[in-house]
Chain A
Amino acid sequence: DVKVTQSSRYLVKRTGEKVFLECVQDMDHENMFWYRQDPGLGLRLIYFSYDVKMKEKGDIPEGYSVSREKKERFSLILESASTNQTSMYLCASSIRLEQFFGPGTRLTVL
């Protein structure tokens, strides 16, 4: 079975802190994604990576950056966390068109 893991299930940070969310997949997938999920808005794509060191902005990249130094790991970075980044963050990896999701990290920024 494909496994996508995320570093934390719950995270509480303060405004202005730098936040790292990590995602690891164990199936050698080339494509990896970071989404945020908010009530009434559904899932929105933040960033997408199609290979090591390759990335592409999604629909809402502002305030975020990403890093993919190894194929299995895709990190989402909040350079200076703000309260409007309080959300559920979901990572996914894909082979062809099917995506496999991690359990999510619920981030609260105070």
Chain B
Amino acid sequence: KNEVEQSPQNLTAQEGEFITINCSYSVGISALHWLQQHPGGGIVSLFMLSSGKKKHGRLIATINIQEKHSSLHITASHPRDSAVYICAVARGSNYKLTFGKGTLLTVNP
């Protein structure tokens, strides 16, 4: 079993829809990252969080440490949100990350 599981693997939405991507992990962590990768592009860090909730524009990330679960929400989705979204966890003071396999999001106009 992978230490970091994401769901769904693929997600297709219509423009304007509210989107949720889930991440579950099985180990104790010091921080969780949400990353975005556009086709052919590099990876951009969206959020790093260790508790609670963070918001940036239309993106919201939440984490429940007790349940070992995080969600990434996109409100009013747009075709430019189409990308792979990757969840990654950091353990202790170790800077190494363990990655989920990613969720491919396609937002149709």
Across the interface, name the chain A residue whose C-beta is closest to B100.
Answer: A42
B63 at interface, CB cutoff 8 A: no
* Cβ-defined contact, B42 with A48, below 8 A: no
Residues of A within 8 A of B33 (CB): 97-99
Partner of A90, one of B42, B90, B95, B100: B42
User: With A97-B30, A97-B48, A98-B48 given, is the CB distance from A43 to B99 under 8 Å?
Assistant: yes
Question: B-facing mask of A46-86, CB < 8 A → 1, else 0?
Answer: 00101000000010000000000000000000000000000
- Looking at chain B's contact residues, the main secondary structure is strand
A45 to B96, CA, bound (A): 8
Report the contact-size class of chain A (Cβ under 8 Å from the partner).
20 to 34
Partner of B90, one of A40, A97, A101: A97
User: With A98-B45, A98-B48, A104-B42 given, is the CB distance from A50 to B86 under 8 Å?
Assistant: no
Measured CB to CB, the closest approach of chain A to B38, in angstroms, equals 11
Residues of B within 8 A of A96 (CB): 95
Interface size on B, residues (CB 8 A): 20
B31 at interface, CB cutoff 8 A: yes
Measured CB to CB, the closest approach of chain B to A96, in angstroms, equals 8
* Cβ-defined contact, B45 with A99, below 8 A: yes
User: With A97-B30, A97-B48 given, is the CB distance from A42 to B42 under 8 Å?
Assistant: no
Chain B 13-64 interface residues, beta-carbon cutoff 8 Å to A: 30-31, 33, 35, 41-45, 48
Could you tell me which A residues sit within 8 Å of B by CB distance?
Answer: 31, 33, 40-45, 48, 50, 58, 90, 92, 94, 96-104
